[in-house]
């Protein structure tokens, strides 16, 4: 068997084994982190329910800890938690926040595109530009490997050139793909935020409350009884 083919297969096998081990370790650590996040979210939402006059500092810190993002405000997080798929909404908003704005006084659909990104074509040409840029950069990353038969005489030269291209073009390819993904996730969030559900109920004292699905806090709104 040609030495060039053996080296390519060996490199692929080592990379596959290493990647598999890394993914397994990430999966194990993620399960533990998810359990801790659940415990904290449950305790915070319980405290917020019991303490109707929670200090703004605690409210801000608590919501940011639940979301795992220091850049978001408590009002933004509270609204995102009211959506049906709150976890996905938080991730999408964090990714696409540079294209979005939170407008708490516009009704139920409070997440909107910023003015310069409202038009579909304005987002479309940016998204496709990033995709094309990613495709070109991804090809350049592996060009020495893919074209090794025509460019190199020795396997070592091919490996060195491939490593160089990965280092040079890899970060830019990732940035281009991430930029396209941010626009895509922002569009999905704006499109599907109308799926949030809430239930209005009246307790024995005649107080109307709103319970949001997936969130255990209850917010008092108005009293229906005359004092």
- Identify the bridge partners of residue 211 per DSSP, sorted by sequence position: 199, 218
Q: What is the mean pLDDT of residues 40-55?
A: 80
C-alpha 33/C-alpha 208 separation (Å) is: 36
Query: Is 28 part of a structural domain of the chain?
Result: no
**pLDDT tens per residue across span 143-163:** 888 888 888 778 888 888 888
| pLDDT number for residue 183 | 95
Q: What pTM, to 2 d.p., does this model score?
A: 0.65
| pLDDT number for residue 225 | 36
- The parent domain of residue 147 ranges over 82-197
Query: Is 209 part of a structural domain of the chain?
Result: no
Query: Is 185 part of a structural domain of the chain?
Result: yes
Domain total of the chain? 1
Which alpha helices (H) appear in 52-154, and where do they start and end?
56-67, 74-81, 86-96, 120-146, 148-151
- pLDDT greater than 90 at residue 125: yes
Query: Is 191 part of a structural domain of the chain?
Result: yes
C-alpha 219/C-alpha 206 separation (Å) is: 14
Average pLDDT, the chain: 77
């Amino acid at each position: 068997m040609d030495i060039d083919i053996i080296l390519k297969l060996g490199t692929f096998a080592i990379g596959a084994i290493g990647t598999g081990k890394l993914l397994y370790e990430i999966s194990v650590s993620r399960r533990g982190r998810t359990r801790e996040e659940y415990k904290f979210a449950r305790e915070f939402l319980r405290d917020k329910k019991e303490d109707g006059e929670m200090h703004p500092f605690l409210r801000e810190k608590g919501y940011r800890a639940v979301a795992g993002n220091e850049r978001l405000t408590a009002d933004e997080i509270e609204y995102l938690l009211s959506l049906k798929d709150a976890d996905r909404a938080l991730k999408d908003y964090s990714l696409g926040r540079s294209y979005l704005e939170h407008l708490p006084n516009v009704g139920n659909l409070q997440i909107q595109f910023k003015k310069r990104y409202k038009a579909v074509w304005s987002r479309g040409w940016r998204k496709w530009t990033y995709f094309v840029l990613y495709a070109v950069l991804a090809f350049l990353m592996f060009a020495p490997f893919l074209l090794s038969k025509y460019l190199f005489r020795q396997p070592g030269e091919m490996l060195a050139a491939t490593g160089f291209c990965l280092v040079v073009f890899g970060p830019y390819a990732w940035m281009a793909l991430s930029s396209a993904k941010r626009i895509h996730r922002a569009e999905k969030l704006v499109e599907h935020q109308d799926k949030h559900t809430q239930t209005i109920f009246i307790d024995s004292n005649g107080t109307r409350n709103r319970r949001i699905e997936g969130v255990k806090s209850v917010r008092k709104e108005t009293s229906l009884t005359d004092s």
